[in-house]
Amino acid sequence: MKKATAAATKTAKSSRSSAKKARAVPMLDLSRQYDSIKKEVTKAINRVCASQHYILGEDVTEFENEAAKFLGVKYAIGCASGTDAIWLSLLASGIQPSDEVITTPFSFFATASTIVRAGAKPIFVDVEPETLNIDPRCVEDRIRRFASAKIKGIMPVHLYGQCAQMDELNRIASDHKLKIVEDAAQAFGATWRGKPAGGLGTAGAFSFYPTKNLSCYGDGGLITTNDEKVAAHSRSLRAHGSTRRYYHDEIGWNSRLDSLQAAILNVKMRHIEDWNKRRNKRADAYDILLKSSGLLGSPGGAKTAPVRILKRTPQAGHIFHQYVVRVERRDELKAFLDKQHIGNMIYYPLPLHLQKCFAYLGYAPGDLPESEKAAKDVIALPIFPELTSSEQSAVVGAMEEFYL
């Protein structure tokens, strides 16, 4: 028995030392994707340049049609960024100055800044510790306790590519006559009960920032909706509030998607399903590697596990924009991985309710404990469709070396 333990320890040590020697693992390597679609992309760019049509136009219309089909919505409206997509869809959904919109503090800044840009007030409620998505119980509790007539909307974020609890959120929205604007920036192709994100509320907003699972070669965004009026209003808002050139019904913004970005997105639309599947395979591989590593502890084990995997909600079709785990001594692990050139990121180190610019909202440390805990212990590991098994072993090997 002793001999077997010694042999196992030796094998583990040698796998750790080979991980140590392993090459660096990038957090994201977009050049691998580029290499695989270079011909298609070059052709598309050359075609746009030859047409000399750079703003909106045929490529944008084609992308909007293809995206609407893929996402199962009636309307898709391209715009200049994910931030604009959220902002304009809030306005188009009828959010007015001095309204209140309930959202999560555990997200990228734009989730809340767009509510402020729309003239409204963000109301932050806590997240579920297992998924880190907005907790519907906290949404309902907040509505019951404050009974504010000003609350007009809920903005769930499908964090890391997994849908928030849309059954409960839609029930609450319908009980209290609220709009739902989905921040689906990280979730192109994610589903809830088989239905794609972006069509699960009043409107949805996507980002095509280069690190996103569907991305362009610059900034880009998309508004989605099944509501004809919201669609028409979004189209007008992205073009200076005009439906007829040089005639302005209201003050909108310049938030047009350009033809080059749309042409690149049209190429990528042919691959997105496959890429999302490959992200899922990579995520499954991480689950297996972590489970067999001992980093998750063993049932009834004496020591607490240093690593915890986030829960996959059964109703959600995850697209793993990010693969995030919760860990002990997060900042030390991060420094260790950085030193070994193993990619990692912290999404997000400071929840939105504690950001300096939102001090006027009056939140204090301890108000939203689950979000605050998550900000201290989450770490995202490299995930992208072209990531290799040996790179994943190197990532987990480095974590073993740090903890075990």
Closer Cβ to ligand PLP, 87 or 403, answer by number: 87
110 lies in the binding site for ligand PLP (CB under 6 A): yes
Which pairing describes strands 100-103 and 151-155: parallel, antiparallel, or unpaired? parallel
Contact 233, 92 (CB under 8 A): yes
Binds ligand PLP (CB under 6 A): choice among 33, 104, 107, 371: 107
Q: Which residue is nearest to ligand PLP (CB)?
A: 82
Total residues contacting ligand PLP by CB under 6 A comes to 15
Binds ligand PLP (CB under 6 A): choice among 131, 207, 266, 340: 207
| Cis bond before residue 348 (omega within 30° of 0) | yes
81 lies in the binding site for ligand PLP (CB under 6 A): yes
Contacts of 87 (CB under 8 A, 6+ apart): 114, 117, 118
Contacts of 245 (CB under 8 A, 6+ apart): none
182 lies in the binding site for ligand PLP (CB under 6 A): no
Piece in contact with ligand PLP (CB under 6 A), picked from 62-70, 107-115, 279-287, 365-373 = 107-115
Closer Cβ to ligand PLP, 207 or 280, answer by number: 207
Closer Cβ to ligand PLP, 81 or 344, answer by number: 81
Angle between helix axes 30-51 and 57-71 (nearest 10 degrees) is 130
157 lies in the binding site for ligand PLP (CB under 6 A): yes
186 lies in the binding site for ligand PLP (CB under 6 A): yes
Binds ligand PLP (CB under 6 A): choice among 83, 104, 293, 313: 83
74 C-beta neighbours (distance < 10 Å), count: 12
**Footprint (CB under 6 A) of ligand PLP, residues 210-269:** 219, 221
351 lies in the binding site for ligand PLP (CB under 6 A): no
Measured CA to CA, the distance from residue 121 to residue 243 in angstroms comes to: 29
**Footprint (CB under 6 A) of ligand PLP, residues 368-397:** none
Measured CA to CA, the distance from residue 320 to residue 191 in angstroms comes to: 12
**Helices (H), ranges, 256-388:** 259-269, 272-293, 330-339, 369-377
**Footprint (CB under 6 A) of ligand PLP, residues 4-43:** none
Angle between helix axes 389-403 and 272-293 (nearest 10 degrees) is 30
Q: Considering the complex, what minimum distance in angstroms separates the CB of residue 306 from ligand PLP?
A: 27
Measured CA to CA, the distance from residue 179 to residue 202 in angstroms comes to: 6
203 lies in the binding site for ligand PLP (CB under 6 A): no
Interface positions with ligand PLP (CB under 6 A): 81-83, 107-108, 110-111, 157, 183, 185-186, 207, 209, 219, 221
